[in-house]
Structure 1
Amino acid sequence: MLFTHDTDVALAALAALVNTEKGEPDPLADPAGLDAFVDEWGWTGRRRHDEQERREVVRVRSRLVALWGATEDETVTLVNDLLRQAGAVPQLVRHDQWDYHLHATSAEAPLATRMAVEAAMAMVDVVRAGELGRLRWCTADDCDNVMVDLSKNRSRRYCDGGCGNRANVAAYRARQASGTG
């Protein structure tokens, strides 16, 4: 295990949030879409379920996109800015099915703030471990999604959008067509 379980989940949620920016139509285009995303990723805490909350999350998302391709120093600057702006105060909490883990905002903080801080705290672990290279783009020709490679041997090439299956099927069909498969 490279990172703690809560960091793994936060990194996966971070990549999923960033990938919503590429969706057509944008999955976060309205409060109902944000609700679906929040439910899918199990975000807890206070919610307003309104357009202002959605706009705040979209603004945070646009800032988090910069983590992919950023240098270590750029990442540190962004992470520190996110934590400072949120007034983050790390604390151990236990809720729902989760044992003790780290939160740096209260459950009453705005959703966008909680999302920004969760992403920033996960990135703290990535930077400290010297693992920024695990933030990647899907290598499928027809995909520009981001991903976090949490495999032991750093071999993950495709996002969770089915790209790996499509690439394997295409390679199989090419082998069959050429008579080498």
Structure 2
Amino acid sequence: MKKRCPWAEVDDLYRNYHDNEWGKPVHDDRLLFEMLNLEGAQAGISWHIILKKRKAYQELFLNFDAEALLATSADYREHLLLEPGIIRNKLKIKAVFTNATAFLKVKEEFGSFDQYLWGFVDHQPIDNKFTTLSEVPAESEISIQLSKDLKKRGFKFVGPKIIYAYMQAIGMVNDHLMDCPCH
């Protein structure tokens, strides 16, 4: 009998995320933008915390609508630092707005953020064949290239490890272990 990736067995929140989202190819620009910013918010803390706070992030960051975010006032942005439902890190909060500007520029240049991102993997998920968690890398050549390009375009909190986790989350790489039913 196949079993889930071991990290997903922690609790129902992880199981649900693993079974219904993680590693499934995402092509919706809004969701791609959301996940990029959530992965950035996760830097230095547990993904579990971000998942628990995800609804608050969606509400406070206007469902990650980049144009709506950029239309907010300085007071609104400052108020986010007081919100207990999200990680109250000034640099991470500011990064969402910086990323919104860069995101819209990429969409304008490529037609969609999806076209831009998935071009790094020739528009096909990389299907890894790992059997143990210890085989799964923290970064890859592609995550390093994508990270450099995102930084060049003005994105923040997009280091190669964050970007590899992002690539896993949005299905650019399939790192479900071989004995996982989601593989």
RCO higher in 1 or 2 (8 Å CA, sep ≥ 6)? Answer: 2
Q: Same fold (TM over 0.5)?
A: no
* Higher Rg of the two aligned structures: 1
- Compute the TM-score of the two structures, normalised by the length of structure 1: 0.32
The structure whose residues are more often helix, as a share, is 2
